[in-house]
Each structure stands twice: as C-alpha cells, then as structure tokens.
Amino acid sequence: MTVLRFLFPALLMQPVLAQTPAESPERPQYQPAAIEASWTPLRLPSGERTALAGLSYMVAVNEDWGLGPAVFGAARGAYGGFFTAGVQVQRRWDLGGPLHLATSLYVGAGGGVSSPQVNSGGGLMLRPELSLRSRVGRSGYVGLGWSRVHFPSGTIRDSQLAFTLGMANDFSAFSPSRSGAVGRGGEREGMGFDEIALSAGVERLRSGHTRTGQPLKRGVGRAGAELRQYVAPDSWWGLEASGAAKGGADGYMEILGNIGQDFALGSENLRAGLQLSAGLGGGGAVDTGSGWLLRAGPTLRWITPWGPSVQLLAAQMKARGDYSARQLRLSLAIPLDQPRGLGRLDEQGRVREQTWALSLPHFPRMPFKDGKREAITGLGLQMHRDFNTQWYGTAQAGSAAWGRAGAYSYGLFGLGWKTQPFAGGSLRAGVEALVGAAGGGGVQVGSGAAAQGEAWLQWQGLGAQERWRARLGLGRWASRGGESTPMVNLSLGYSFGVLGAR
C-alpha cells in the first residue's frame, strides 16, 4: 500500500473517468491533493524571536510525490510584513498504521523589515523539512519535524522544530487539450475556487506611524485580488492579497482570509451583508507589530446578468501594532468555475484551460531610489485562466530573489491574447498587459502603482506531458512615476481544464 493510498483511500477508490466519444460531454480526472498549514519558530541573528506561518497546496504528480504553491509570513515579534512566496515539493513514505514520513523543500522569495544584522539579502529563501505525521480522523493529519530556514545571500538562517496541520482532498480537472469542448462535472475542478475578484480602493488612517516613529500619510491607495468559493449562494470564503499603490507606503502587503454573508435587497442580484477578514500584513515602513490584522465591515454586491459581480466593502482595519484605518474597496469578480456544490451536482459547460506557473522575471536595469540601475531577478507565481480559446485573464505575485532588492514584491493582474497552437500543437505565442502594485527593497516605484507588458512564446507538452508548459517572454516593466526597465521572463507551468459557462 503506497502512502497516497494510505492518506487518501476514499479518493483513490473513485475511478479515473476515461475520455468519452466526441459527441458526449468530457468528464474530469481525479488526483490526490493536500492543503497544509505550518508554524516555524525562528531565532534571528539579533537574538530576537519570530515565527513563520505557512500555507501550501500540493497536488500529487504520482503516488509518492506532490508539488504546489506555498507562502510564508512572519506572525510573531515585531516583523509584520515579512513575506515570501514560492513552490513546495514533497515526498512521502508510508510507515504503517496512522504514520507517514515526509520530506519537503520550499523555494521562494521575499523579505520585509530588515537591518544590517537581520536581512534577507537578495530575497531567495530555502526551507527543507523532515517531519513525522499521524493521521487524525478520515482526512486530516498532524506533524512534528525539523526544518531549516535559510536565506543564502542574507543573514537569516536557523534550524527549529516545525508543526504541521494538514488535510487531504482531491484535485479534479479536465484534460487541457479539450479546452473549448463541452464538459460535465459534479465537483469543483482545480483548486476549487469559483471566481477571482480584482480590487482597488482607498484607506483613511485613524492612527499609524512608520517604524521610525514618523506619522504615516492619511490616505493610501490599494490594489489587489481575491480568490473566492461559495458554500451557499449567499455565503463565501476566500483568500486575498493586496498592496499599496498610492500614498508613499510602497512595499506594504497583506494576505487575508475572508468569510462573508449577504442577503437579498428585494432582488436576488442586489445583496447587502457583512465580511470578516483576518491575516498578516506589513511592510512599506508601516508598523503592524507582529503582522496580525483584523478587518470587518458591511458589503454591497450586485450580480450582473452576464455573470461577473461588483462588490463594495466599507471596513475597519486594525493591527496589533500602531496601525488602524478605515477602508473603502471596490472589486470586480470574474467567474473561474461554475459554483457547484450548491444543490447542482451535475453541471454542463465548456472546458476552459487554467494554468499555475512558477516564474523567474529578470530586470537588467531596475531603477533604485539611490539613483542606480542594477539587475535583479524575481521568483513568483502566475495564474492564467482562459475566457475562450484565445483571450485569457492573468494574475501574478512574487518578490526579488537575486540582486540587492530582497524586500521588493509585486502583485499584478491583466488580460492576454494567444494564438492557436502551431508546429504540430507544441508551440503557442501571445501577448499580455498587466497593472497592479509593487514596492520595497529600495526599488524606485513612486507611489507603488506599476504596469507590465509582455510578448511570449510557449512550448506545451503533448500526450503524457500535455499538462506541462514552458514559456519565454520579453517585455517591459514601468512604474507610475515614469521609471521603466526591459524584462525577460521564464516560467514553468502546470495546466488543466475547468468547467466554465457554456
């Protein structure tokens, strides 16, 4: 019995549904997956203590190996806003009974609060871990292990015990080669999110100072994105990432978990309710203490007849540090998947391709606030989702990994166009344009707003390798203040099909 059969017995009993004839709807395939949360205490070179809270989602590529996106953020001490994002690879062994052994390697990039004694260098972070886990209930598990946090070009490095809490689930997806075909599914495909919401807003500070004691500007602009899943037509949860785009707090970033509930106002399409959020944030010299944030406020949502919805949120944000603000945020939510599990268990629609990718953007002449221009290379995560066979939406987030801008981070979203496959189906080309927020690490980004344009050529696998993508892009990055630099972007992606509107 392999470790994945041990961990996911109910999932592996489900048959992998074969492709049906062309005149019949496509059916999804199933792979084991797991979501893990971790807590890693960390002693810094200054003698101070902090801890990294981690979250990862891994999909099995075979019965022993899994990989997927992961993020870590400081959640203790005075280092709020210290974030890294990247990818985690894991290997598991069944030890019999309820136990299994796991070894993993996280490769990411980021940074945050720093000093000559405590800094992330270029931003690259490595975190190997060896842990012993025990099953809890039908699909949960807990673990205790040894981990090492290491920034190769910085001063942060320490080995500590790490604690893990995980839950097994399944990853349902269609073949990406069937994009555009009619499909039928009974569960959410991919990572299970129903829509992506792109947001912009402003906040008015009630109190807040920089870490040097200087008062912050009263108004700050925000830009971000949120992934949502609906547990009922009027209830949802989601994951949100946003950053400062105006107001002199460039480099500020927050990652929040959201829950919401709303009620019809005479019409099912016009709804009012409440949203609660909790998570981590900081950077841009904003003093958020340990980084923990709480946010609450009323919402007004209009579901358009065409599918997307518009939501207005008015909320109060409070940190454990010296930071409190009122926020007003407007978001446009675009469906990613048909929201099933709400009483509709066998939906039919069009298969649309979705891709998650690890990217390495290189900027040969990035402008710095000290007037210099130097090369930096980032490491980030990208998501692409087809609207049809040629137009797609895209979002990406990441940080500097090599160079001297270790705390530089970015979050962008936009629109792209691509050709039909050529060269026997193995090549594709396209262009995309993105806007969003960036800052930190001494990079000259003005208020924090940034834009990027890119033309790309992509190799895509065929046959047994059909889900893999390798892309080379050439483009240009620019800040709102007029600074710009050329860029080269190399990415490796994993593609799959999800069920969209017909």
Percent of the chain topping pLDDT 90: 48
Residues 387 and 486 in one domain: yes
Residues 165 and 255 in one domain: no
Residue 69 CB neighbour total at 10 angstroms: 22
Mean pLDDT, the chain, rounded, equals 85
Task: Look at residue 178 and tell me if it is in a domain.
Answer: no
3-state secondary structure of 12: helix
3-state secondary structure of 250: coil
Helices H, strands E: what count in the chain?
2, 25
Q: Give the span between the Cα atoms of 480 and 160, in whole angstroms.
A: 42
- What average pLDDT does the segment 168-184 reach? 87
What is the reported pLDDT for 474? Answer: 97
Q: Range of 293's domain?
A: 193-335
Q: Give the span between the Cα atoms of 116 and 110, in whole angstroms.
A: 17
- What average pLDDT does the segment 472-486 reach? 89
Q: Give the span between the Cα atoms of 184 and 182, in whole angstroms.
A: 7
CA atoms within 13 A on the CB side of 29: 14
Phi, psi of 177 (to 5 degrees): -70, -15
Residues 19 and 153 in one domain: yes
H or E element in which residue 6 lies = helix 3-7
CB 406 within 8 A of CB 111: yes
What is the reported pLDDT for 480? Answer: 77
Residues 78 and 142 in one domain: yes
> Of 311, 335, 359, which closes a domain?
335
Task: Look at residue 454 and tell me if it is in a domain.
Answer: yes
Residues 262 and 300 in one domain: yes
- Residue whose token pair is 């620019």: 478
What is the reported pLDDT for 494? Answer: 93
Task: Look at residue 341 and tell me if it is in a domain.
Answer: no
Residues 446 and 371 in one domain: yes
What is the reported pLDDT for 20? Answer: 43
Residues 160 and 209 in one domain: no
- What average pLDDT does the segment 114-133 reach? 90
Q: How far is CA 300 from CA 71, 303, 310, 323, 330, in A?
A: 30, 10, 8, 26, 10
pTM as predicted: 0.85
What is the reported pLDDT for 429? Answer: 97
> In this predicted model, which residue has the larger pLDDT, 289 or 487?
487
- Of 293, 291, 334, 295, the residue nearest 313 (C-alpha): 295
| Helix, strand, coil % in the chain, rounded to nearest 5 | 5, 65, 30
Identity of the residue numbered 326: R
What is the reported pLDDT for 224? Answer: 83
> Of 127, 142, 173, which closes a domain?
173
- Of 331, 102, 89, 42, the residue nearest 197 (C-alpha): 331
Task: Look at residue 187 and tell me if it is in a domain.
Answer: no
- Of 50, 446, 500, 71, the residue nearest 221 (C-alpha): 446
Residues 211 and 294 in one domain: yes
Task: Look at residue 180 and tell me if it is in a domain.
Answer: no
At residue 170 the predicted structure's pLDDT band, cuts being 50, 70 and 90, is confident
Give the CATH number of the domain where residue 295 resides. Answer: 2.40.160.20
At residue 78 the predicted structure's pLDDT band, cuts being 50, 70 and 90, is confident
Q: Give the span between the Cα atoms of 82 and 345, in whole angstroms.
A: 41
> Of 276, 302, 335, which closes a domain?
335
What is the reported pLDDT for 440? Answer: 82
H or E element in which residue 4 lies = helix 3-7
- Residue whose token pair is 């099933």: 340
- Residue whose token pair is 């065929």: 462
Per the structure, how many domains does the chain have? 3
- C-alpha torsion sign, points 58, 36, 232, 264: negative
Residues 389 and 423 in one domain: yes
Residues 235 and 321 in one domain: yes
Intra-chain end-to-end CA distance of the chain, in Å: 41
Length of the chain: 502
Residue 427 pairs in a beta bridge with 422, 459
CB 401 within 8 A of CB 375: no
Q: Is the pLDDT of residue 282 over 50?
A: yes
Task: Look at residue 179 and tell me if it is in a domain.
Answer: no
Task: Look at residue 210 and tell me if it is in a domain.
Answer: yes
Task: Look at residue 381 and tell me if it is in a domain.
Answer: yes
Residues 297 and 155 in one domain: no
Residues 13 and 154 in one domain: yes
Q: Give the span between the Cα atoms of 6 and 34, in whole angstroms.
A: 13
At residue 274 the predicted structure's pLDDT band, cuts being 50, 70 and 90, is very high
At residue 501 the predicted structure's pLDDT band, cuts being 50, 70 and 90, is low
Residues whose CB is less than 8 angstroms from the CB of residue 220 and which lie 6 or more positions away in sequence, other chains included = 202, 203, 205, 244, 246, 247, 248, 249, 252, 325
H or E element in which residue 140 lies = strand 140-150
**Which of 12-21, 28-37, 332-341, 468-477 has maximum average pLDDT?**
468-477
